[in-house]
Structure 1
């Protein structure tokens, strides 16, 4: 079973936790983990039956694809949230010219952006459908541009970005790299719906609540792009046949 549920671990908790749990303080690590796990559980909304951020009108089948992994996804989130929070704290850079929560957003966005480019290249090569291959190439082009803009902003704000996929997306990449055809297409597009649903929430949170004007503006510019990507992925998912792996 493809570990699509792991995707949210790198996207949803870090910014939320950075804003609500004091990072780089003197909290006991175990206590910090408990706080982070508790806070992460508050994000769960298992009764939601619609896709957020510009995806109105999603058909029943596409909704079921997302709901089928929801329970496992949130169990994984609760278990790993504390570790992600502490990992984020270790990455905080004292010489950066932005607040820790803005740093966390930039670090998370850079990691996800790197994953989007690498996953898009994989889709462009291994996709069975011409539409999936085209979507993958579109993600490469769009996220390469966004990553370059983020890198320039990070240089200005003295934030050192890590240009590498997080472990969750690395797991996804490794599993997709052994798939092809219709099976690849469906799992890749389902993953894209997950990534962009959570990524949109990340960007919208920073656009609304970020402290640095430049970082907030970057996030605000990314919001409509993410909404468009999510709608594109959701529409594409409707056209793909189910596979025996689901």
Structure 2
């Protein structure tokens, strides 16, 4: 359930980012009562571009993988799980650097925000409360779900992305994340 929520949130973030609605400008009322009221139009929030939404999703994915894998370094029982976690820390640190480079190459430049989703934070909180074999099982489940959600987001942006440098980043990461997902399935 948690994992499907994570996937749904990630996909929804990418989908919603593409939907922007222009704010309507209010029409001033010329009645006497209206002149007593300040008619300051509401300030509309700047819509997030699809490129920014993707960069944020990718940054949050990397942050989640690094944080959950750092937990595995101390809480996991299995040597295989600990080894996988070490590899994920390295790989997702590299991915973050590549994401920053691709985002900076965008015009205008994009700054990825690695804010975890509520589902990612909940998963981290759950992992924090576990240890040993219980941790290993929960971590493996989280890794499979997280990598599947990331792979889905990468494939989607690779196919329909609006920022060439981020589209290239997504395309290049698909085989890497596929390999990580396959490794996670073997935990």
Report the counterpart of residue 23 of structure 1 in structure 2: 20
Which of the pair has more CA radius of gyration?
2
Report the counterpart of residue 92 of structure 2 in structure 1: 143
Report the counterpart of residue 101 of structure 1 in structure 2: 50
- Do structure 1's residue 205 and structure 2's residue 156 form an aligned pair? yes
CA change 1:4–1:206 in 2 (3 A) is: closer
**What is the CA-CA distance between 1:3 and the residue it aligns to?**
4.2
Distance 2:10 2:119 in 1: 10
**What is the CA-CA distance between 1:101 and the residue it aligns to?**
1.4
Please, which runs of 5 or more residues in structure 2 have no aligned partner? 25-44
**What is the CA-CA distance between 1:11 and the residue it aligns to?**
1.8
Report the counterpart of residue 141 of structure 2 in structure 1: 190
- Do structure 1's residue 160 and structure 2's residue 73 form an aligned pair? no
The number of aligned residues is: 165
SS at match of 1:145: helix
Alignment of 1:20-99 (within 5 A): 22-26=19-23, 92=48
SS at match of 1:11: helix
CA RMSD, aligned part only? 2.1
Contact preservation (8 Å) 1:12, 1:199? no
**What is the CA-CA distance between 1:128 and the residue it aligns to?**
1.0
Please, which runs of 5 or more residues in structure 1 have no aligned partner? 28-88, 93-99, 237-246
Contact preservation (8 Å) 1:115, 1:165? yes
Distance 1:146 1:91 in 2: 26
CA change 1:165–1:91 in 2 (3 A) is: farther
CA change 1:107–1:213 in 2 (3 A) is: same
CA change 1:168–1:24 in 2 (3 A) is: farther
Contact preservation (8 Å) 1:112, 1:166? no
- Do structure 1's residue 134 and structure 2's residue 83 form an aligned pair? yes
Report the counterpart of residue 122 of structure 1 in structure 2: 71
**What is the CA-CA distance between 1:5 and the residue it aligns to?**
4.5
- Could you list the structure 1 runs, at least 4 aligned residues long, displaced by more than 6 angstroms after superposition: none
